[in-house]
Amino acid sequence: MRSRTAAMLAGTVLLLPVAGCGGGSGAADDGTVTVGAILSMSGIYSTLGAPQQKALRMGVENLNKQGFVVDGRKRTLEIEYADDKSDAATTGVTQLRELTQAKKLPVVAYGLGSDTYVPQLKRNPVPMLNLIDSVHPSILRLSPQFWRVRGDSPTYVPGCLHYAKRELGTKSISIITAKGEAYGEGLTQLVTQSARAEGIDVAASTQFPVGATDYSNAIRGAVAAEPDAVYLSSVTAVILPVLKQLRQSGYTGPVIHSAGINPNQAKDILGGQFNSIMKDNHDCAGTLPTTSENPAAKAFADAYQARYNEYPQDLTMWAHDFPFIVAAAMTKAGTVDDPAKIQKALGEITVPQGTVSGWIPGPGDALFTERMARTASEVTTWCDARQTLASAMTFDVRDGAVVDPKIKKDPCS
């Protein structure tokens, strides 16, 4: 899947060492500020964590080219990485204690497992910025310490059904859900609501347990309803094996999802037949840096591909920008080690210079509105002739309805 360090492959609970931690206070005498990041760099969610870490490294390097000033003193940033091994409930909680209690780092970025961190945050509050988790209902309800650098599922799922109805001619849809997986179950709720709003019939809604390898019962029930399209509810590593078996079952119609699948992942997980399996696939999520109309995002995409030789996901933009958000909040707060002041400052900063995500500012040009930052959403389609993705529609969502849709006719041409 993704390359990992020998230390991660050894299976140990690991915090990658960072020079100059200043006795664990988060600030060193040389002006270096250290913050934490808990990512799924191994395990089933490594398709998310590994690219996040790569983009975070790029963001730190770009920020440190000019540094940032806090209370009159120039600073640079470093990140101490922790691998939750795709198991936030045990390994991730241990890592959070290490970062915030033992090392006293003032800010932590993370990927998944919000609910498991709540008890720890009640005992030791620090701002935690989520780089990817758009589960419905929102993680922001769980703790005031959580912040999100991307829109949640309700900001993009309605676009799936809007596009399916108008561009794919969809009148009925079957939904296949990863049972027991919060993101997948939340997607199914939203798809059902959006289908109803669009006048699309939910022909069948079937499930398979997370961790299963045989999806035939769920696929059989979904296909038997003879839908115009099938929606797969879960993350990349979970739905791609389902997609493969769905195609093997003989279903050749449109497949829709919100997994952010990229060409590298499709090839790695699906194997040699990936191109035919991905035909007529449509993904609705955040805008991709490669298809974005934002010049900064495009430049980041080029740099990421040149450096890592892989297709950048939407989450890579948000991860790249995390260091700039931290720097802006520390500058605003006038401190590098007071979590409460940094927490307050996060709600007051505007979109920082040097970021690439193309955020939509909130009232007063604030980056965060009710602790969530937002970018535009997008439907991408698979172009089998070129074995890659193309942007089919960009849009925004307000009050559950798609607004300002920009549909691109024949996006693969």
Label the pairing between strands 73-83 and 68-70. antiparallel
Say how far apart CA 292 and CA 298 lie, in whole Å: 6
Lowest mean pLDDT among 13-27, 119-133, 153-167: 13-27
Q: Is the pLDDT of residue 12 over 70?
A: no
Per residue in 89-117, pLDDT tens? 999 999 999 999 999 999 999 999 999 99
Q: How many CA atoms lie within 13 A of 197 on its CB side?
A: 18
Note the pLDDT of residue 50: 95
Helix axes 46-64, 236-248, angle to 10 degrees: 140
Task: Indicate the pTM of the whole model.
Answer: 0.89
At 27, is the pLDDT very low, low, confident or very high (cuts 50, 70, 90)?
A: confident
Amino acid at the residue 60? V
Note the pLDDT of residue 293: 87
Per residue in 36-45, pLDDT tens? 999 999 998 9
Note the pLDDT of residue 57: 98
- Are 78 and 20 in contact by the 8 Å Cβ rule? The answer is yes
User: Is residue 156 classed exposed, middle or buried when 0-12, 13-18 and 19+ CB atoms within 10 A define those classes?
Assistant: buried
H helical segments located in 249-338: 263-270, 274-278, 295-308, 314-333
How long, in residues, is the chain?
Answer: 413
Say how far apart CA 270 and CA 285 lie, in whole Å: 21
Domain architecture of the chain: domains with CATH: 6-152+313-365 (3.40.50.2300), 157-257+261-290+377-407 (3.40.50.2300)
Nearest residue to 281 via CA among 301, 250, 260: 260
Label the pairing between strands 401-407 and 388-398. antiparallel
Note the pLDDT of residue 24: 46
At 302, is the pLDDT very low, low, confident or very high (cuts 50, 70, 90)?
A: very high
Number of helices and strands (H, E) in the chain?
13, 14
Per residue in 347-356, pLDDT tens? 999 999 999 9
Helix axes 314-333, 339-346, angle to 10 degrees: 120
Residues 6+ apart with CB under 8 A from 47: 1, 2, 235, 236, 237, 265
Note the pLDDT of residue 21: 37
Label the pairing between strands 32-39 and 108-110. parallel
Note the pLDDT of residue 30: 84
- What is the phi/psi pair of residue 149, to 5°? -100, 15
